[in-house]
Amino acid sequence: MANIWEILHQPDTVVFFDIDGTLTSYNYGEHHAHHELDGTPEFRNVNIYADCKRLKPLYDYIVSHDVSRLFCISREPHGHEAWKSEMIERLYGIPASHCFYTLEAKEKPGIVKEKVKEMFPDISPESVVLMDDNDDTLGMYMTQTPFCTAHPMIFMEHI
Ligand SMILES: [Mg+2]
């Protein structure tokens, strides 16, 4: 079996990216990683995605891959789905219709399995990569799905 970097670069590979901390740097505040209003009711009205920067190694990968095989799956408890999807489309060209959201990270494995079954019923599980920066989520993906997993820092190894 190919290693994860090789799998990511095979043309038929399907990738589900986490968003916060994977396709963004997760630096939303002025002096904190979390936005200073995070945890307050006002936070729902703050578009923390308006100023996000494109992460070039991920961008280079995404534009070199078939976008019909690239998706996002993100936990979103603050009602920021539309702003987040707009940012993903603007910075990376992944359509908003490819972005899926959940209130609970623990739902991610089930959602991904459902989407793969629906959209790529015949794909080999070794051709699906779930990329997330969260250790707990990567662990759930490993134990609850047959798919490959990768941490986004893999792109830092190949700059
Ligand atoms: Mg994350």
d(CA 71, ligand 1 centre) in Å:
14
CA–centroid distance, residue 124 to ligand 1 (Å): 25
CA of 109 relative to ligand 1 center, distance in Å: 14
List the pLDDT tens digit at each of the 159 positions of the chain.
789 999 999 999 999 999 999 999 999 999 999 999 999 999 999 999 999 999 999 999 999 999 999 999 999 999 999 999 999 999 999 999 999 999 999 999 999 999 999 999 999 999 999 999 999 999 999 999 999 999 999 999 998
pLDDT recorded at residue 1: 72
Residues 6+ apart with CB under 8 A from 112: 16, 73, 128, 130, 141, 145, 147
Query: What kind of fold does domain 4-158 have according to CATH?
Result: Rossmann fold (3.40.50)
**What 3-state DSSP class applies to 4?**
helix
Task: Give the pLDDT confidence score for residue 150 in this predicted structure.
Answer: 98
Cβ(94)–Cβ(57) below 8 Å: no
pLDDT at res. 35: 97
- In this predicted structure, what is the pLDDT of residue 113? 98
- What's the 136 CA to ligand 1 centre distance in angstroms? 10
Judge whether 14 and 71 are in contact, CB under 8 Å. Answer: yes
pTM score over 0.85: yes
Q: How far is the CA of 10 from the centre of ligand 1 (A)?
A: 24
Q: How far is the CA of 123 from the centre of ligand 1 (A)?
A: 25
Spell out which residues have Cβ within 5 A of ligand 1, the ion: 18, 20-21, 133-134
CA of 75 to the centre of ligand 1 (A): 8
